[in-house]
Amino acid sequence: MNDHRRLGRELGIFDTDPLIGSGLPYWPPAGAAVRKAIEDYVHELERRNGYQHVNSPVLGKRELYERSGHWAHYAEDMFPPMEVGGEEFVLRPSLCPHHAIIYRSRQRSHRDLPLRIAELGGMYRSEASGVLGGLTRVRSIQLNDGHVFCAPERAAEEVSAALDLIEAAHAQLGIEAARYRLSLGGDGGKFVDDPGMWARSEALLRDVLKERGRAYDEERGEGAFYGPKIDIQIADPAGREATLSTVQVDYFQPERFDLRYVGGERPVMVHRSVVGGLERLVAHLIEVHGGAFPAWMAPVQAVVLPLSDAGRPAAEDVLRRCLAAGLRAELVPAGRGSLGARIRAHRLVPYQLVVGPREMESGGAAVRRRDGGQAGDVPIERLAAGARPRF
């Protein structure tokens, strides 16, 4: 079984250190490369689907989260306030209050809607030490988040469009959903007490799922404190489930922040995360792919392997052309072992470019694929094109 906690460290994808703290992983070069590839893919996917990207701070005044409702309903999962200059600041547990502020930073008309904004940003959860594990449960989360502000009559359409985006990303990443879950509210102080609002939101999400012909389960008490959500559940090789992507309908925060567009109308806020937190996503991808990531997200996409020291200058030229074409590539010189040993050591790399006497003369490289297949002298530009995600 591919346990990401072991394999991820062996591959240099992530690690932790007691001096940094539990639940606060860091990303060495290989992990940073995987993460950047995913970030770039999702950023472009969102851009092509009408999203504008924003950036916001990782902390805010306590009053911000009192206004959003997080302080009343979510404080036990937040880090305690820090006093600075006589004011209290809090590490954010969510990005949505910041995006609500961005919406209301200028006057909006119905022609501006739907307004789709997205951000990959940090958020922080005060998780108990006993539940932390690898990348699946952490205290520092890099979240692919986004919010759509739309007229009420467009909410169902925007929810369905968000699901289209999620399903496209999952197909590109090689993820199979375990199931879809409609997560509902429940009793007690965890949820906003507004039965009418909950009924309206739940009916909208049910209608979208039925319209799409999507089978789903309903679970009471799993919703966000401000509204119900569609959760796309994934399962690890041991069958343990976790939520990855999500779409939520929110009538609560637009009212709390008094969000409006010209004419006094109040928008609906659709929360959506295409790939969820990068930590949980990468943990799942390590286990699904066993470290043999699709070429577009592999930490190293190509290794250049000269047969002998005499071939090093030609191999260095091939490496330069790989890098210029956008490939993440490395040169592994002959002094590091036989060709077979070097191939085995880099068996997870999608393309192995061998430079022997014939290639030294032609200026090319004999391409060997990760599956052992021989591709011949493929132009580097064609390799680079094949190592990009598809939209």
Distance (Å, rounded) from C-alpha 269 to C-alpha 316? 52
Q: How far apart are CA 193 and CA 75, in angstroms?
A: 17
CATH number of 300-386, picked from 3.20.20.10, 3.40.50.1820, 3.40.50.800, 3.30.70.20? 3.40.50.800
Which residues are within 8 A (CB) of 368 and not within 5 positions of it... i.e. 6 or more apart?
343, 351, 352, 353, 354, 374, 375
The continuous run of DSSP H or E covering 150 comes out as strand 140-150
Was domain 4-289 assigned CATH 3.65.10.10? no
Lowest mean pLDDT among 131-140, 187-196, 200-209, 240-249: 187-196
Provide mean pLDDT across the span 340-360.
94
pLDDT of residue 361: 87
Q: What is the pLDDT of residue 131?
A: 87
Using CA atoms, how far apart are residues 194 and 177, in angstroms rounded to an integer?
Answer: 31
Report the pLDDT value the prediction gives residue 387, as an integer from 0 to 100: 93
User: How many secondary structure helices (H) and strands (E) does the chain include?
Assistant: 13, 16
Domains 4-289 and 300-386 in one fold: no
pLDDT at site 377: 81
Alpha carbons 182 and 185: distance in angstroms, whole number: 10
Predicted pLDDT of residue 143: 96
User: What value does the mean pLDDT take over residues 43-63?
Assistant: 97
Asked whether the predicted pLDDT for residue 188 surpasses 80, the reply is no
pLDDT band (50, 70, 90) for residue 202: very high
pLDDT of residue 371: 84
Confidence of residue 183 (pLDDT cuts 50, 70, 90): very high
Q: What pLDDT score does 212 carry?
A: 96
What percentage of the chain reaches a pLDDT higher than 70?
Answer: 100
Neighbours of 134 (CB within 10 A): 21
Amino acid at 53: H
pLDDT at 112: 93
The two three-digit tokens of residue 168, written as one number = 């496209």
- Closest CA relative to residue 135, chosen from 35, 44, 245, 38: 35
Query: With 80 as the cut, is the pLDDT of residue 331 above it?
Result: yes
**Interval 251-286: pLDDT, tens:** 999 999 999 999 889 999 999 999 999 999 999 999
DSSP per-residue codes, 335-386: GGS-HHHHHHHTTTSSEEEEE-HHHHHHT--EEEETTS-EEES--HHHHHHH
The reported pLDDT for the residue numbered 343 is 94
**pLDDT at res. 345:** 94
pTM for the full model? 0.94
Q: Which residues are registered as beta bridge partners of 119?
A: 145
Task: Locate the domains of the chain by residue range.
Answer: 4-289, 300-386
Q: Go through the chain and tell me how many residues it has.
A: 391
State residue 237's pLDDT score.
Answer: 78
Higher pLDDT, 362 or 33: 33
> Does residue 189 have a pLDDT over 80?
no
